[in-house]
Every structure is written in structure tokens, then in C-alpha cells.
Structure 1
Amino acid sequence: MSVKENFENAKAQYEKWGGVSVEDVFQKLKQVPISIHCWQGDDIGGFEETDQELSGGIEVTGNYPGKATTPEELRSDLEKALSLIPGKHKINLHAIYAETDGKFVDRNELEPQHFEKWVNWAKEHGLGLDFNPTLFSHPKAKDGFTLAHPDKEVRDFWIQHCIQSRKIGAYFGEELGQPALTNIWIPDGYKDIPSDRLTPRKRLKESLDEIFAADVDETLNVDAVESKLFGIGSEAYVVGSHEFYMGYALKNNKLCLLDTGHYHPTEMVSNKISAMLLFNDRIALHVSRPVRWDSDHVIILDDELREIGLEIVRNDALDKVMIGLDFFDASINRVAAWTIGTRNMIKSLLYALLMPNDHLKKLQEEGNFTDRLALLEEFKTYPFGAIWDYYCEQMGVPVQEKWLDEVKEYERNVLSKRNS
């Protein structure tokens, strides 16, 4: 049978449940932008005019050929990935992706003009942009501390960098007609058990207060703060813990960003979403896949990713959760990594939108756990793939694994010709 015939059969199965309209599902899904991280394409190298090595507890493993080494190459690779992913999305940049025309510009001096080429490219392709100050891989972060550093001069440097980053985010928002999310994550912490946990957190709070005191239009730039449980070199203590940032975000009307790799292996971010939404108008996600630790594997359509999609959809939170991705695998084709991960994120939302969520909620409230469990298990083998294939076809991107042929062709014609 054709893609359309398979779709019609699958559509009838889903729509026998009241309240499920596949056409309405497609319309909703089209409106959800995923913020795709640029750093998968070059292993978080960036384009600074320095030879600074990756640091701050971040590791990228693998040496697959074809890594982007220039802004033009990175944008070309992103264009290829975007052509294989249904929908219109955003690109998430770090400060190290500034373009300074061969001149050294330190991070506390970055200006919107250093991202003008990114903005022009985003306009050309109908994309939004998000932003992150880069508080790692820098001489002033070599001892593992930035905004919570004991040295005020070091703190002031990073405070200014974050203020400049918020201004760059507002520039993105003004130029592109959609707000940029500017997210602050820091590596600050201790390798071994500290004697004083409070003082560094006081310094971090004071630094954040100063950063957010700078006047930046909140309709153009949305501020977020991101926690972490531990990192390489900060195994015993991280200043910016979940509790710290959850409290700070609530008190200061900022978004709390939850990275799926930044918690204990038995903690599920899907379980946090509904609790956070009771007390926050919006939250943000960085979706990654930890394997035993914050290893940032490419996301797969596993139980947790499906549950994240379900928690967003069944709680009517598609406009309340800003979804971004954050993985970096240098052991496989990087364009394929973007494509696999982003398509899976969208699949999880489609899977959730097709569920008769109101009926399942009703069964739970009635205490009918037998029917609820039985249906949840049956839906796992419903013809979801036929709906996804038709959505891809309607959105003008390859169906099933046909996208992989295009990636292989791009690798032969473009990536293989680059210096490794």
C-alpha cells in the first residue's frame, strides 16, 4: 500500500477514540518549534580566534570525518539537516559561534554585530535563534569557577559576558520577530566535598542579580537558568543546583531550564514537568540522553522521551514548554545525529497528540486502572509509523529511512572533502 493508504487505515484506528482528529494533530504539531543546538555540528568548538581547548566538564568523544570548521560549513550542515526534519524550527547558538572577521574579541565585549551573519541566514530560512553565554573553555574559567568565583574581577568579567549575551538575545528577537531564549549554565563546583556550600551560592545569586538588573526587553529576550547535579571536576558539589535555580527562577520570574542529563540517573525530567508548571508560567527543556551520566548521547524514541512528549501534550503545555536539544556525538555523522534526534523529539510529540488523553485521564480518576493499563499497552503497537510517514510526506521531507540516503550523498559530496 502507498503512504496515503497506510495513513488512512491508521487514521481510522486512532480516530475511533473520541476527541482524536489527526488533521488537528498535524496543525498543532506544525506550530511547535524545536530549538536545534548548533554545537552538534562542530563538537562545541566555536569560531573564536584562539586555540582554547574544550573544558568545563564537557567532553565530546569520537572523530567522525567532516566536522564543520567554519561558520559557512556549519550553516550548510544545518541547512541539510533542516531539509530532512519536518516543521519550522529555531537554531540555538553559543557565544563562541560569534564571527569577528579574524579579530580577537573577548567574550565580555561581544556585540550583536558579531552575529549579524547568523541573523541574516535565519531570516533567509525563516528560522528563530536562541542563545547561550559560553562560561567554559576560557582562561578565566580554567579553575572551574565563573559567576561564583571568589575573585570579583573574574566574576565581573562573566557578569558582563552574560549581560552582553542577553542583549544579543534581544537583537535576535527584534530582528527575527520571535523571542530568543537566552540560557545561563555555569560549570562552577568542587571535585571533593566542600567546607562551605553557602558562600559560593551567595556569590552566584549576587552575580545573577546584577546580570538581570541590566535593562533588556523581556518581549524580545526570555531569560533562563540551568542546573546540574555534577560534572567532571565538580563531582561532589555544583553551585548551581536544581534547588538553587528552581528557587531563583520562581522568585525572579525567570525560566527554569531542565536538562534531561543533569539529574541523578533515577530522576526523570518527565516527572518534573507537571510539578513545575503548577508554579511557573513557562519552563524550558534541553533534551539529551544520559547513559550512566550526563553523556549527551543522541536522543532516541525511548520510554522517557515518549513520556516527556506525553507530559507536555496531555497537560496542554505546548506553548508553555520551550523545547531545545542538547547532545553532541562525534562518533557518527553529525548531520545524521541532528536528524535522528530532532525527528525523534517531534515523533514523541506526535505520539502524545494521537493519544486519547482525556479518556485515559477519566479512567484514572474513576480508578479503572485495568482498562487504563490495557489501553496504554495496546497503543504502543498502534500504527503510529503510518501517521508519521504521512506527516513527513505532507511536510515535504523524506519518509522513513530515505533521509539517510540524502545524508550519505551529502557526506560523499561535501563532508568527505573537508580536512579532518
Structure 2
Amino acid sequence: MTIKASYEEAKKLYAQHGIDVDEVLRKLEEIKISVHCWQGDDVRGFLFQDQELTGGISVTGNYPGAARTPNELRKDMEKAFSLIPGKHKVNLHAIYADTNEKVDLNELEPRHFQSWVDWAKEQGLGLDFNPTCFSHEKSKDGLTLSHPDAEIRKFWIDHCKASRKIGAYFGEQLGQTCVTNVWVPDGYKDIPADRLTPRRRLKEALDEVFAEELDPKHNLDAVESKLFGLGAEAYTVGSHEFYMGYGIQNDKLICLDAGHFHPTEVISNKLSSLSLFTNGILLHVSRPVRWDSDHVVVLDDELLDIGRELVRNDLLGTTHIGLDFFDASINRVAAWVIGTRNTIKALLRAMLEPVEALKQAELEGDYTTRLALAEEFKSYPFGAIWDYYCEKTGVPVREAWLSEVKAYEKSVLLGREESAPTVHQ
């Protein structure tokens, strides 16, 4: 049976429950996933490539072919996007500036990212942004926006201000709102004597960072919490409670990273609550095998639950979905493809469920029907719909994409191990 024929048969089954599969695919194609650039080079960036990775972040593995220049990274991302259905966004950190100038983080301007903007226009992509408050000499003691030294604090405030303006430039130039997300690694390895004062400093610093009003059509601000990090095991200044309060009080997007909570917590269960008190949410979809280990996203229960919560509660229009993982033990292009395709699959799975019937059964106290329907739909022919969607959007069906990645590895990635990089081509 052809892919189209399988699709038509599957459509009939879903139609019995009032699910318009053609309409589902139309809506799915409008959803943009923000794909993180730092999977492609192990979070090294291009401003300070000799700088040690800090901030409680660790990348393990030495698979050949990591991008060494902006052009190599863009080429790798182009390959990945050619294997992923839909049009999406690229999430940049400040250290990925593409410039010949010697410039520090607090001096960055939109022009240092012009090549990224030009490329995004050519590719039909949006751009998101992040200040880089780690892997820098002024972050080596583990404190940035909450630092007791006013001069160091000012450096990071100025960097975050500059980042917001870069984000606004991205949004204006590309006609797609840029989400600029602020995360800082600030914390202490051992139990602090004073938990309040660093948080007061962080609040005051953020107030200064966000003082200038920017057009929300161009830039949306987000703040991201974390439970703990390497070197900040006992205390993190920017906890979930801190940023939840700050975001709600100041109308900022609150970023939920799947790996930034206690190992038994899940972000899917937080979405409905936050949605009642905020105008939007930012997600960093990751896979914390052991806390914040940032493994490549797989189609596991939590990813499926994230998709269900977004669909069942009609949150797709106000939720910005980004990815955040970095695995140097496997082909980096494949990591992007696997993680992004899985995220889209989870959304599609959720959109193909009989949501209204499930809710009605629950409202009527018919928990038997609720459970039965939910379980039976797990074996409905979702795969036939996914295969057709891939074929329809011109990307490889099923695992056919893997041979393209293997060919790209042989022709491009492996050659990088034997040649010196050309920084600007």
C-alpha cells in the first residue's frame, strides 16, 4: 500500500471520532520549533573558542565533525532542516556572533549577527536569542547578574541589554518575533549564609535590563530558572520560585526547561497552572536522564505529555517551543533531526486524539470511557499520518533521512578532522 493510500485509510478511522486529519496537518505546519544552534559545536561559540565551558554545563563525547566556523554551523543546520518537516527557527547564543572584530559581550550589536540575519532570510527561518552569561572571565566565580561587585554586575547588565536589542533587530528584520531568553548560572557550591541578598541583586539587575520598552512584535523577553548546576549544587539564585514570581509580576515569558527541576518533576504538569497567570510560556525541551544531562529528545512519555498539555489546553498559540540538548557522542546533525522530528511527532500525536470526547467523558464522570479511549488511541495509525506529512512537505519518510546524514558525514563532516577551518568564507 502506498503512503497516500495508508494515509487515506487512517483518515477514515480518525474521522469516526470527528478528527479532521487534513486540518490537523495544516495547523501542524504552522508550528515553529526553535532549534538550538549549540548542538552543532558543543556550546563553544565563535567569540571565545579557547574559553573553558562553564556555568554548570558539560558536553561529553568526541564524535568527529563539530562545526568550527559560522559557515560550517549554518551548513550543518541547513542539512538538518532539509530533513525536518515544516519551517522553523534557529536559537542563537551571543557567543555565536559572526565577526572579525575583537568584541566583548557587553559591546555586541546587531551588526555582529548580520550574516545570521541574511542567512535566515534566505532560508525562510526565524531567529531567537540568548545572552551568554557563562564561559567568560567575568563569570568564572559563578556569579553574574547577582554578583556583589557592582562593576561585574554592570558588565552583565549591559550584555543583557545589548542582547535584547539584538533580539529586537532579528524580529524586525525577519518579520518573526524573537524570544530573547535570560538565564544565568549564579549560585554557590555550598550552603550560603545569605539567600536573600543575591536574589535582591538579581531582581534589581533584571529590572535594569528590562527597563527599556521594546516592541513586543519584534522581541519578547523570557526568564529561565534552574534547580542547581555543577559548582552551584547547594543554592541557585534564579530558582523556579524566583523567576515565576518575577515573570508574573513583570509580564515576562517564563521558560520551563525539562532538565532544570528535581528529577521527579515534569514540566508538562506545570503548563496549565502557569497558563492561568501568564501571557505566554517558553519551553526548552530536553531529556534529563540524570537531572540536567541534556540528552537528545526521544518520543518518551514526558514529551508526549507536553504535546498533550499544549493541545488539550489550547496553548500552542501562546507557547514558544525550543529545544535544548547537546550530545557530542553521536552525529550532531542527526541529533537535531531526531530531536526536532520527535517534538513535532509528539504534537501531531496529541492533535490526533479525541480531545473533546475525553473531556466530555471526564465531565460526566465516565472515567471508564476516558481511560478506554485514551488507551485505544495509542495504537491508532499515527505512523501513516506522520509518513504522509513528511512526504507532503518534501522530507524523507521514516528512517530514510539517516542515509542522507551518513552521506553528509562522509562528504563533509569527516573532512573537518583533516583540515584547518577558514573562519570567514
Scaled by the length of structure 2, what TM-score is found? 0.97
> Within 5 A, what are the aligned runs for 1:220-299?
220-299=218-297
Whole-angstrom distance in 1 between the partners of 2:48 and 2:247: 34
Whole-angstrom distance in 2 between the partners of 1:29 and 1:298: 22
Residue in structure 2 matched with residue 352 of structure 1 by the alignment = 350
TM-superposed CA distance for 1:216, in Å, is 2.6
Amino acid at match of 1:341: G
* Alpha-carbon spacing, 1:45–1:239, altered in 2? closer, same or farther (3 Å): same
Deviations, residues 101-124 of structure 1 (Å, cap 9, x unaligned): 1x3200000000000000000000
Residue in structure 2 matched with residue 147 of structure 1 by the alignment = 145
Whole-angstrom distance in 2 between the partners of 1:238 and 1:59: 17
Deviations, residues 146-200 of structure 1 (Å, cap 9, x unaligned): 0000100000000000000000000001100011000000000011111110000
Residue in structure 1 matched with residue 74 of structure 2 by the alignment = 75
TM-superposed CA distance for 1:72, in Å, is 0.5
TM-superposed CA distance for 1:379, in Å, is 1.0
Question: Is the CA contact 2:179–2:219 (under 8 Å) kept in the aligned structure 1?
Answer: yes
Whole-angstrom distance in 1 between the partners of 2:2 and 2:213: 56
Question: Is the CA contact 1:185–1:227 (under 8 Å) kept in the aligned structure 2?
Answer: yes
Instruction: Report the secondary structure of 1:340's partner residue.
Output: helix
Instruction: Report the secondary structure of 1:8's partner residue.
Output: helix
2:195 paired with 1:197: yes
Q: CA RMSD in A?
A: 0.8
Instruction: Report the secondary structure of 1:414's partner residue.
Output: helix
TM-superposed CA distance for 1:273, in Å, is 0.4
Whole-angstrom distance in 2 between the partners of 1:183 and 1:50: 22
Question: Is the CA contact 1:50–1:104 (under 8 Å) kept in the aligned structure 2?
Answer: no
TM-superposed CA distance for 1:215, in Å, is 3.7
Residue in structure 1 matched with residue 402 of structure 2 by the alignment = 404
Instruction: Report the secondary structure of 1:418's partner residue.
Output: helix
Residue in structure 2 matched with residue 162 of structure 1 by the alignment = 160
Residue in structure 2 matched with residue 60 of structure 1 by the alignment = 59
TM-superposed CA distance for 1:378, in Å, is 1.1
TM-superposed CA distance for 1:51, in Å, is 1.8
Deviations, residues 261-291 of structure 1 (Å, cap 9, x unaligned): 0001111100000111011111110000001
Question: Is the CA contact 1:49–1:104 (under 8 Å) kept in the aligned structure 2?
Answer: no
Residue in structure 2 matched with residue 3 of structure 1 by the alignment = 3
Amino acid at match of 1:124: E
Question: Is the CA contact 2:223–2:243 (under 8 Å) kept in the aligned structure 1?
Answer: yes
Question: Is the CA contact 2:38–2:44 (under 8 Å) kept in the aligned structure 1?
Answer: yes
Instruction: Report the secondary structure of 2:73's partner residue.
Output: helix
Residue in structure 2 matched with residue 384 of structure 1 by the alignment = 382
Residue in structure 1 matched with residue 173 of structure 2 by the alignment = 175
Unaligned runs of 5+ in 1: none
TM-superposed CA distance for 1:214, in Å, is 2.4
Comparing 41-50 and 293-302, the one that deviates more: 41-50
Whole-angstrom distance in 2 between the partners of 1:64 and 1:15: 46
Residue in structure 2 matched with residue 308 of structure 1 by the alignment = 306
Whole-angstrom distance in 2 between the partners of 1:39 and 1:49: 14
Question: Is the CA contact 1:305–1:348 (under 8 Å) kept in the aligned structure 2?
Answer: yes
Whole-angstrom distance in 2 between the partners of 1:348 and 1:15: 20
Residue in structure 2 matched with residue 207 of structure 1 by the alignment = 205
Amino acid at match of 1:399: V
Residue in structure 2 matched with residue 13 of structure 1 by the alignment = 13
Residue in structure 1 matched with residue 113 of structure 2 by the alignment = 115
Whole-angstrom distance in 2 between the partners of 1:70 and 1:122: 17
Whole-angstrom distance in 2 between the partners of 1:139 and 1:215: 30
Residue in structure 2 matched with residue 95 of structure 1 by the alignment = 94
Unaligned runs of 5+ in 2: 419-425
Instruction: Report the secondary structure of 1:380's partner residue.
Output: helix
Question: Is the CA contact 2:187–2:235 (under 8 Å) kept in the aligned structure 1?
Answer: yes
Deviations, residues 57-92 of structure 1 (Å, cap 9, x unaligned): 000000000000000000000000000000000000
2:104 paired with 1:106: yes
Amino acid at match of 1:11: K
TM-superposed CA distance for 1:218, in Å, is 2.5
Instruction: Report the secondary structure of 1:289's partner residue.
Output: coil
Amino acid at match of 2:168: A
Amino acid at match of 1:307: D
Whole-angstrom distance in 2 between the partners of 1:139 and 1:306: 40
Deviations, residues 212-245 of structure 1 (Å, cap 9, x unaligned): 0024322211000000011111111100000100
Instruction: Report the secondary structure of 2:210's partner residue.
Output: helix
Deviations, residues 299-348 of structure 1 (Å, cap 9, x unaligned): 00000000000100111111111000000000000000000000000000
Question: Is the CA contact 2:268–2:302 (under 8 Å) kept in the aligned structure 1?
Answer: yes
TM-superposed CA distance for 1:50, in Å, is 5.2
Amino acid at match of 1:58: I
Whole-angstrom distance in 2 between the partners of 1:52 and 1:412: 29
Question: Is the CA contact 1:309–1:348 (under 8 Å) kept in the aligned structure 2?
Answer: yes
Scaled by the length of structure 1, what TM-score is found? 0.98
Residue in structure 2 matched with residue 85 of structure 1 by the alignment = 84
TM-superposed CA distance for 1:386, in Å, is 0.7
- Which of these residues, 131, 134, 137, is aligned with residue 133 of structure 1? 131
TM-superposed CA distance for 1:49, in Å, is 4.6
Amino acid at match of 2:149: D
Whole-angstrom distance in 2 between the partners of 1:217 and 1:87: 27
Deviations, residues 31-62 of structure 1 (Å, cap 9, x unaligned): 10000000000000100155211111000000
